[in-house]
Amino acid sequence: MIVATPKSVTELKNTIAQHGKVLFVGCGTCVTVCLAGGEREVGIASYAVRMARKIEGKPLQLSQMTIERQCENEFIKDVAEEAAKVDAIVSFACGAGVQAMAERFPGKPVYPALNTQFLGILEEQAVWTEKCLGCGDCMLAQFGGICPVTRCAKRMLNGPCGGSTEKHCEVSADRPCAWQLIYKRLESVGQLDRLDAIMPPKDWSTAWYSGARQVVRKDHRV
Ligand code: SF4
Ligand code: SF4
């Protein structure tokens, strides 16, 4: 899922300082699961910003709603009626959701309430870790399902580096060495021979360096 973290109340308040009527919109999927942008977080942020504005003597008319997903027009259309009544929208979605909302409401300022972080998983209660950089050419089959592109600090495809230990990456003592994990995993599935192959330099043309990518599935086009 996409993992995001909330912006501070001060930043939110400053961002909408020029507006008197604002709509806070939550997103019911990834950012709800990572406790950053769901109905509950929208409620808490609304209360805090409203209070902050009141203390400043600049009361704010603030409405709030949460939709299933902000990255799909099918759900964004449910915001239209409320959006028409306000000066600006604050989106509690990932960066894709914020931009989808801005495209859907061209005459309306749309501001982000979150900082989008990465594609990751819930590791344990309230701890999320990054697992995928979306490189566009997945190599997990070769590495026992552990991504060195994301999880090795040096993005090594022929690791480990000389600084690895059984427990930690040399770059950070709180991070496991991805190549140690890869070795253990391949050993457990009887595929250590995969490490005999020298991997060529990765083809980064499928990644993000040349700008925003697009996926067109002709088999699903009508
Ligand atoms: S190889 Fe690429 S697509 Fe696969 S998990 Fe790693 S970054 Fe993601
Ligand atoms: S210690 Fe392991 S994870 Fe860290 S940079 Fe070296 S090979 Fe990569």
Domain residues for the domain of 56 are: 2-118
The pLDDT of residue 105 is 97
| Average pLDDT value for residue range 159-180 | 93
Question: Is residue 64 within 8 Å of 25, Cβ to Cβ?
Answer: yes
CA distances from 122 to 33, 64, 137 (A): 9, 27, 24
- Structural domains of the chain, count: 2
Residue 209 confidence class, pLDDT cut points 50, 70, 90: confident
Residue 208 is predicted with a pLDDT of 87
CATH of the domain at 66: 3.40.50.2300
Say if residue 114 is in the same domain as residue 140: no
For ligand 1, say whether the CB of 121 is within 6 Å of any of its atoms: no
Of the bound ligands, which one is closest to the alpha carbon of residue 162?
2
Average pLDDT score over residue span 194-206: 95
Same domain (yes/no): 8, 41: yes
43 and 105 assigned to the same domain: yes
Same domain, 109 and 186: no
Residues 6+ apart with CB under 8 A from 72: 100
Whether the CB of 171 sits within 6 Å of ligand 2: yes
Asked if 152 contacts 179 with a C-beta cutoff of 8 angstroms, the reply is yes
Does 157 sit in the ligand 2 pocket, CB within 6 Å?
no
100 and 30 within one domain: yes
pTM: 0.92
| Residues 114 and 19 occupy one common structural domain | yes
Residue 141 sits in the same domain as residue 109:
no
Contact 93, 70 (CB under 8 A): yes
* pLDDT tens-digit series, residues 69-81: 999 999 999 999 9
Mean pLDDT over 127-149 rounds to: 97
Mean pLDDT confidence for 144-169? 95
> Quick check: is 105 in a domain?
yes
Q: Which of 144, 130, 133 is nearest to 189 (CA)?
A: 144
Confidence band of 163 (pLDDT split at 50, 70, 90): very high
Q: Do residue 140 and residue 93 come from a single domain?
A: no
Question: Residue 37: pLDDT band by 50, 70, 90 thresholds?
Answer: very high
Mean pLDDT of the chain: 96
- Looking at the structure, tell me whether residues 85 and 162 fall in a common domain: no
Q: Which residue, judged by its Cα, is nearest atom 4 of ligand 2?
A: 169
What's the pLDDT score for residue 64? 98
Query: What pLDDT, on the 0 to 100 scale, is given for residue 222?
Result: 82
Q: Are 156 and 189 in the same domain?
A: yes
Q: Whose CA is nearest to atom 8 of ligand 2?
A: 152
Residue 102 lies in a domain: yes
Distance from residue 50's CA to the centre of ligand 2 (Å): 46
What was the pLDDT predicted at 14? 98
Kindly state whether residues 114 and 6 are assigned to the same domain.
Answer: yes
Residues 147, 112 share a domain: no
